[in-house]
Each structure stands twice: as C-alpha cells, then as structure tokens.
Amino acid sequence: MHYTPLNKMIREAVASGVKEIVLNNVLGQRFIGNGLRGDAKITINGVPGGDLGMFMSGPECEIFGDAEHAPGNTMDSGALFIHGSAGDAVAHSMRGGKVFVKGNIGYRGGIHMKEYEDKRPILAVGGTSHAFLGEYMAGGLILIFGIGQESAVQDRGIGSGIHGGEIVIRGDVNEKLLGVGAKKVAFNEDDLKRLTPVIKEFCERFGIDPSSFLDTNYSRIIPASSRPFAGKYTWE
C-alpha cells in the first residue's frame, strides 16, 4: 500500500475514536503517525519509512523492526519505541515526548532538539550513534547506553553547537570527540537519581536488567556557552 492512502486511513480511524491500530508488513511507508493527536497506540510490524511520528502530539507508536531516517521529527509529545535500529537524524528538532531505540542510530541523532516550559524531550539509545550526536541541541536529554559496544560513542562532533540540554553517554568519552561548544562534566549521584526513572523505563521497555546501569559510570556533556558560535559572526 502506498503511504498516502495508508496515512489517510490511520488519521480517519483515530479521528473516529479508534484507540489501537496494528499495521502488518510495513515496508518503507513514510509519515506514519504524522501530525496525529490523542492517545491512540499504533503497533508497527516491519520497517516504517522516514519521518515516523513527525509533528505527532500524544499517540504511542511501537515498532517491531528498524526505522528509517528522522523518526520523531519535530514531535510534540507521545512516544516512539523502536525495537530495532534507526537511521540518521533521529528525534530531529523534537520538542517533547520520548524516542527509545533498542539498537543503534545513525548520524546527527538529536539534532536541534529543544525544550519549552514543562516539555523536555528524551532520546534514549541502547546501542551507539554516529557523528554529530546532539548537534545544535537546544534542550532535552540524549542518553546513550552502548550495550554490547566497546565504546558507546566513537565518532566525533558530539554536541557540536550545543546551547541547551544534556547528552549522557555510558562510560568515559574522549574529549577529542567533543564538538565546538560542548564540554564534559562529571556525572554524579544527583544526576543518577534524576535519570534513574528514564534508565528504568528504557530497560523495562526492552526487557533489559536495569541494575547494571544504575551507577555513575557515565559522561555528561553540556553546553560550554549559550552562544557557542557568537565569535563566528561580524557585528556592525
């Protein structure tokens, strides 16, 4: 089925009051959940295409498979639970809700994430990520566990241009991998207490024992400045 009639059917079902939708044999259909509002749950068996849950506000999507690029793009609230891996730009410009990925993600995960008032988006990844994680991040939380990996993040540009929010990565992070405007600070007991509910929720969602992750063996990366590129411009 082409994604246009599929998404029309989903929107009409949710508008009529349907609370649970199951999609089987999904293979690359884009924009699933795009702009949906409410408390419906969509179960996706297969591989959804790009921009899964874009502009979504409220629903939950659980994906039993991988996801292509930019799931959670500009998502306002709700949740995406991806039992596989995902492509580039996961949680692009996300402004609320949560995106949990059991496997790995590609490049520029969490780019332009932001938060407003009581909305604080969360991107949590069980595996690892590629370069420019949290690029231009303005708010929210990125949490990388690196399960089964020698190092949770090995690519450069972490937090390049970050001016809000935080990136928390399991284990030590070589400062040479940090991008412009990012700095590494200690992860302490207060941070662990604050993030314990997220760690437990992620692990329980994917059937992982959380006890191995409830310690302070993390690196916390935050903005070095609220205006990391201020010196790059010429002012008259």
pLDDT along the chain (236 residues), means of 10: 97 96 98 95 98 97 98 97 98 97 97 93 97 97 94 94 97 96 97 98 97 97 82 60
The one-letter amino acid code at 81 reads F
pLDDT on residue 132:
98
Count of C-beta atoms within a 10 Å radius of residue 112: 20
pLDDT on residue 149:
87
Sign of CA dihedral 120, 220, 123, 231: positive
Cα–Cα distance for residue pair 101/110, rounded to 1 Å: 12
Cα–Cα distance for residue pair 158/146, rounded to 1 Å: 15
Nearest to residue 171, comparing CAs of 196, 153, 198, 194? 153
The one-letter amino acid code at 187 reads F
Distance of CA 107 to the CA centre of its chain: 12
pLDDT on residue 230:
67
* The two structure tokens encoding residue 18: 């349907």
For residue 143, the SS3 value is strand
Long-range CB contacts (within 8 A, 24+) of 64-71: 65/26, 66/103, 67/101, 68/28, 68/30, 69/106, 71/99
pLDDT on residue 234:
59
Question: How long, in residues, is the chain?
Answer: 236
Phi, psi (5° rounding) for residue 191? -65, -40
